[in-house]
Amino acid sequence: MNRVLLVEDDGALVRTLTISLGAHGFEVESTARGATAIERVRSTPPRVVVLDLGLPDVDGVDVVRSVRGFSAVPIVVLSARDGQDAKVAALDAGADDYVTKPFGMEELLARLRAALRRSEPTAPSAVLTAGNITIDRGARRVLRGGVPVHLTPTEWNLLDVLSRTPGHLVSQRELLQEVWGPKYAEETNYLRVYMAQLRRKLEEQPSQPRHLKTEPGAGYRFEV
């Protein structure tokens, strides 16, 4: 059973989600406090985290940032904050998806299934080396100068799609649909956020990338 850690301080919503997610094969564990959530991810990692941002003790964005310091568990934000700045802050901190309240249960279920699919290991394949970057798809591992680089599931999936065909342009729409799903075909801000994160982690000069190239208005390519 897929275990969900639900981090939410609205008791009525917790009860509703526990019942609804349980009916669709999820086992729900809940807490209203961000600090507790961080410790639970560390001690008994769930398959996926559903996280409200407005928590009584710690802001949800800080929870995301803390968890990303030691775990790649998928994090789906569920928040009433619907402004672009809030979404970008959560995604930049390492969240994998963002659902605004009020929401439809079918949409949330679809987002959870997509997050779980993206976190599944890929089939073993060739190791790709580009400069001092080594991408091992079988192990879902990236090295920079021989040192492991921690990537979130979404960062890994984006890099994986780009590096499958080195040197070839991958359109913005194709990247968004493959990494986030068909409903995200126009969410180009997601690509800007995550490409910036990848460049900070992998490029020696993120402002002048050697490998993660942008073709303005068209897409991106991975150069070896």
pLDDT digit string, tens, across residues 24-66: 989 999 999 999 999 999 999 999 999 999 999 999 999 999 9
Distance CA 61, CA 77 (A): 9
Average pLDDT over residues 197-210: 95
Instruction: Tell the residue number behind the tokens 């800080």, with chain if given.
Output: 62
Question: Where are the CATH 3.40.50.2300 domain residues in the chain?
Answer: 2-119
pLDDT digit string, tens, across residues 183-198: 777 888 999 999 999 9
Q: Which CATH class is domain 2-119?
A: alpha beta
Q: Which CATH class is domain 127-222?
A: mainly alpha
Q: Residue 211 in contact with residue 130, Cβ under 8 Å?
A: yes
Question: Where are the CATH 1.10.10.10 domain residues in the chain?
Answer: 127-222
pLDDT digit string, tens, across residues 71-103: 889 999 999 998 989 999 999 899 989 999 999
Distance CA 159, CA 165 (A): 11
**DSSP letter, residue 26:** E
**Residue 124 pLDDT > 50, yes or no?**
no
pLDDT band per the 50, 70, 90 thresholds, residue 122: low
Distance CA 224, CA 222 (A): 7
Tell me what the pLDDT averaged over the chain comes to: 90
**DSSP letter, residue 122:** P
**Residue 1 pLDDT > 70, yes or no?**
no
Q: Residue 129 in contact with residue 187, Cβ under 8 Å?
A: no
Distance CA 88, CA 98 (A): 9
Distance CA 28, CA 11 (A): 14
Q: How many residues does the chain have?
A: 224
Is the model's pTM score more than 0.75? no
In percent, the amount of the chain with pLDDT more than 70 equals 97
Average pLDDT over residues 168-179: 87
For CA atoms 73, 76, 81, 86, the dihedral sign is: positive
